[in-house]
A and B are shown apart, each in its own frame.
Chain A
Amino acid sequence: EIVLTQSPGTLSLSPGERATLSCRASQSVSSSYLAWYQQKPGQAPRLLIYGASRRATGIPDRFSGSGSGTDFTLTISRLEPEDFAVYYCQHYGRPPYTFGQGTKLEIK
Chain B
Amino acid sequence: QVQLVQSGAEVKKPGASVKVSCKASGYTFNNYYMHWVRQAPGQGLEWMGIIHPSGGDTTYAQKFQGRVTMTRDTSTSTVYMELSSLRSEDTAVYYCARDLIGDSRGFDPWGQGTLVTVSS
Contact = CB atoms under 8 A, between A and B. Distances in A.
Chains A and B come from one and the same complex: yes
Interface of A: 33, 35, 37, 44-47, 49-51, 54, 56, 88, 90, 92-93, 95-102
Contact of A93 (B46, B104, B112): B104
B14 to A, nearest CB: 26
Given A99-B45, A101-B44, A102-B44, A92 B110 contact: no
B120 interface: no
Given A95-B59, A96-B61, A97-B35, A56 B45 contact: no
Chain B interface size, as a band, is: 20 to 34
Contact of B47 (A46, A50, A54, A97): A97
Given A44-B113, A96-B62, A50 B106 contact: yes
B80 interface: no
The interface residues of chain A, by DSSP majority, are classed as loop
Given A51-B105, A99-B46, A102-B44, A92 B99 contact: yes
Interface string B89-120: 00000010101000011111111110000000
9 contacts: A33-B104, A45-B95, A51-B105, A56-B106, A92-B107, A93-B104, A96-B47, A98-B47, A100-B44
Nearest to A99: B45
A44 B44 contact: no
B45 A45 contact: yes
Nearest to A45: B110
B50 interface: yes
Contacts of B108: 47, 50, 56
A44 B104 CA distance: 19
A93 to B, nearest CB: 5
A95 B44 CA distance: 18
A88 B45 contact: yes
A37 to B, nearest CB: 8
